[in-house]
Each structure stands twice: as C-alpha cells, then as structure tokens.
C-alpha cells in the first residue's frame, strides 16, 4: 500500500507513531521501577512485597479494558477511540500525581492501565488493517524494535527524575508525554477502518464475532502461548527491583542492567523483522520457545544448587528476555492472520487474555519471593513449558514448519 496516497502519512512516520502509542505503556510501567521504594515509603506500604501492587494493579487495568477497545474500535473506527484513550491517560496521570493515599494512587494506576490498553490494542488493529501475514509480522517487529527502546530509556529517565526532583516528577513527565502524543494523533493519524467495514455493536453480533474467533485452534493456541510469554516478562519486571537491589545489592547500576536486558530485546526484534520474510514466523517463534525453555531450565538448576550468582543470572535473564523478540510479534501475527475483518476484536481478546493471565501468573510468582531468585526461576521454567505445549496444540503437534499459503 502507498501510504502517502492512500493514508496521507509516510511509512517512516507511521511506524514511529505506532511505536509512540505503545511507548506510553512502556514508560508508564518501567519508569516506575527505580521509584518503587520511594513510592512505597510515601504510601506507607507495610510489607515489602506490597510494592508489587504498583505494577500489578496497572497491568490489571491494562488487561481488563482491551476487549472493550477492540469491540468499540471495530464499530466506531480507530482514531476516535485512540484519542479518547489518550485523554483518559492524561487525566489519570494527573490524578495519580496528586494522590494523597494508597487507595487513590492505586486507583490512578488502574485507570492509567485502562487508557494504555487503548493505545496498544488500537495501534495493533491499525497495523492489521493495512498488513497481514509476514508483512504484518515485519512491521510489528519494526514497531516493537522502536518500542523496546523505551524500556531501555524508561528506568534511567525515572531514576534521573527521582534524583533531580522526586517520584511526582515521573507523573509530570508522563502527563506531558501523553499531551504530546495526543496532539500528534489529532494532526497526523489517519482513519484506517472505513465505515463500510465497521461492524455493528450489539450483543448478538458481538457473540457471533467472539464465537468465530474462539473456533480457531490457531488463535487459541497462540493466544495461550502469548500469555505464558508475557507472564515471563511481567514476572521479571515485577521482581527485578527486589532481586537486583535486595538479593544482589546493586541498586546503583539497577537501571543500567534493565537497559541492557531491554536492549537485547530491541536487537532480537530488529533481527526478527529482517529474518521473518526469509524463514517465516513459525520457524523463528518456535525456535525461540525452545531456547526459552532450555535457558529457564538452566537458570532453575543454577538457582536450586545455589550457583545463580549475579553475572550468570544477568546473562541468562538477558537471553530469556531477548527470546521474546522472536515470539511477541510473530505470535500476534499468526493468531490474527485469519481475522483481518475483525482485527480490533481479535487483537483485544489476545491482549485481554494474555495480559490478565500473564499478570495473575506473575503476581503468583511474586508472592513467593523470599529473598532469592528461586520463585522467578521456577516460574520462568513453567511458563516456557506452557508456551511450548500451547504451540504444539495450535500446530497439531508439528512445529518449526511453515504453512503453505
């Protein structure tokens, strides 16, 4: 498709705009991490593991709202809904900024999650409106590559703001970022879902749409695989502050370690975008799952035998997180391939299920944190096995083989 003629936006700007929509999610989650102890003290959280709720509550809002954005964007179009999500984001950031107690703060975080659900789900739907199959996977990989730069930057940005001002400054920054992206969208974002392709919003039509989606074995299998892959990411992020500061006592370089790990995912997302057309989505993502399982098992063995020192842990964790660069975009593209006509709903169902499932599993892993890396290692191993089994189900037991289309 010629973007300039048909969408009035260049391909370069389009990719960066989609990445910017997703960046709100990255910044809203990752910029908090260096400030968690400060926020925990401000809110007088009594138990050390309670600070995990700052991340978990946000993810619950992020997961729960996605299906609604999908249904409404398939009915009313993409641009109106993403503008609404950005407005909600700005006001929720201000609400959290002025929170006076734990309940208000967590409510603000929950609403932030609801708003970021819209920017992520609708941006994926916009991409699916225009692309499908390997082309979609390639564009998604480019978007994810840029998007993954933000987790590299976010912890350092958050730490810098805390050192210069305090944690309130992070929410001032997030509010300004939301306003900037809102005006960019108002001026430059095209509507990618024509009125003649929009679906009616009623109970009967919605049920039929959802039934159509869930009848797909491919969709179910890859949605579950994506859930386990996200549980891996969320568990690491939820426990990273406690592991690196409490277990390894490296608080000073904590943001740098997070940046290095995120940068590895950037590199694999770029590599995926370059390789996917040649090797295919299935070969790359299935290989990544196998590597994910093996690395998690190695980490579990080292941890169980008290051999998981700082550098082995960092190297293995980096490689595990990097494997997601070959899974995330490909899982989404494979699952959504049959559903171009209902991309918003299908995308939002994947987002809701995988985010809520991944959040609950990561919360469960986090609650077993006891001052060591054991709970994380057990969780990652279980998630790797779960993703592998889900993929086998989707592909009728045959992996590493591309479908002939």
**What average pLDDT score do residues 362-366 get?**
92
pLDDT in tens, 100-141: 999 999 999 999 999 999 999 899 888 888 877 777 777 877
Q: Is 403 a member of any domain?
A: no
Beta-carbon count within 10 A of 86 CB? 24
DSSP, collapsed to helix, strand or coil, labels residue 280 as: coil
- Answer whether 263's CB lies under 8 Å from 152's CB: yes
Which pair of structure tokens corresponds to residue 207?
A: 């049920």
Q: Number of folded domains in the chain?
A: 1
Q: Is 86 a member of any domain?
A: yes
Q: Is 99 a member of any domain?
A: yes
Q: Is 405 a member of any domain?
A: no
User: Mean of the per-residue pLDDT values for the chain?
Assistant: 88
Q: Is 399 a member of any domain?
A: no
Q: Is 404 a member of any domain?
A: no
Percentage of the chain modeled with pLDDT above 90: 48
Q: Is 204 a member of any domain?
A: yes
* N-to-C CA span, the chain: 20
Which pair of structure tokens corresponds to residue 355?
A: 């985010």
pLDDT above 80 for 238: yes
Q: Is 402 a member of any domain?
A: no
**What average pLDDT score do residues 156-167 get?**
89
Domain that holds residue 255: 3-394
pLDDT above 60 for 404: no
CA trace torsion 77, 203, 60, 97 (10° rounding): 50
Q: What is the CA radius of gyration of the chain?
A: 20
The whole model's pTM is what? 0.81
- Answer whether 329's CB lies under 8 Å from 274's CB: no
**What average pLDDT score do residues 264-286 get?**
88
Alpha-carbon distance of 222 to 59, in angstroms, equals 20
Closest alpha carbon to 238 in 102, 58, 114, 56: 56
89-116 core/surface letters (b: 16 or more CB in 10 A; e: else): bbebbebbbebeebeebbbbbbbbbbbb
Confidence of residue 318 (pLDDT cuts 50, 70, 90): very high
Kindly report the CATH number assigned to the domain that includes residue 218.
Answer: 1.20.1250.20
Asked whether the CA dihedral 229, 85, 185, 132 is positive or negative, the reply is positive
């Amino acid at each position: 498709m010629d973007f300039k003629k048909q969408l009035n936006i260049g391909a370069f700007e389009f990719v960066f705009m989609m990445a910017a929509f997703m960046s709100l999610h990255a910044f809203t989650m990752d910029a908090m991490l260096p400030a968690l102890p400060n926020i925990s003290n401000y809110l007088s959280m009594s138990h050390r593991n309670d600070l995990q709720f700052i991340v978990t509550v946000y993810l619950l809002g992020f997961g729960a709202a996605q299906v609604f954005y999908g249904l409404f964007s398939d009915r009313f179009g993409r641009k109106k809904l993403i503008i609404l999500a950005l407005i909600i984001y700005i006001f929720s950031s201000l609400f959290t900024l002025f929170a006076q107690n734990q309940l208000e703060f967590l409510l603000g975080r929950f609403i932030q999650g609801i708003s970021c659900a819209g920017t992520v789900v609708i941006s994926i739907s916009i991409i699916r409106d225009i692309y499908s199959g390997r082309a979609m996977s390639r564009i998604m990989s480019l978007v994810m590559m840029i998007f993954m730069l933000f987790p590299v930057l976010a912890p350092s940005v958050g730490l810098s703001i805390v050192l210069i001002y305090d944690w309130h400054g992070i929410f001032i920054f997030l509010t300004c970022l939301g306003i900037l992206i809102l005006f960019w969208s108002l001026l430059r974002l095209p509507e990618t879902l024509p009125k003649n392709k929009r679906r009616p919003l009623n109970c009967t039509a919605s049920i039929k749409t959802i039934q159509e989606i869930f009848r797909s074995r491919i969709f179910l299998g890859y949605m579950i695989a994506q859930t386990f892959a996200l549980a891996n990411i969320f568990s690491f992020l939820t426990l990273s502050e406690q592991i690196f500061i409490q277990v390894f006592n490296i608080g000073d370089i904590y943001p740098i370690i997070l940046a290095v790990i995120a940068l590895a995912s950037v590199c694999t997302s770029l590599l995926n975008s370059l390789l996917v057309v040649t090797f295919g989505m299935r070969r790359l993502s299935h290989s990544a799952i196998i590597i994910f399982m093996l690395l998690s098992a190695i980490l579990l063995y080292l941890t169980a035998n008290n051999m998981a020192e700082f550098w082995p842990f960092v190297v293995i964790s980096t490689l595990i997180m990097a494997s997601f660069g070959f899974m995330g975009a490909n899982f989404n593209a494979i699952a959504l391939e049959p559903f171009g006509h209902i991309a918003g709903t299908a995308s939002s169902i994947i987002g809701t299920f995988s985010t809520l499932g991944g959040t609950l599993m990561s919360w469960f892993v986090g609650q077993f944190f006891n001052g060591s890396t054991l709970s994380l290692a057990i969780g990652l191993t279980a998630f790797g096995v779960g993703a592998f089994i889900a993929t086998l189900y989707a592909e009728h037991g045959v992996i590493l083989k591309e479908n002939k289309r």
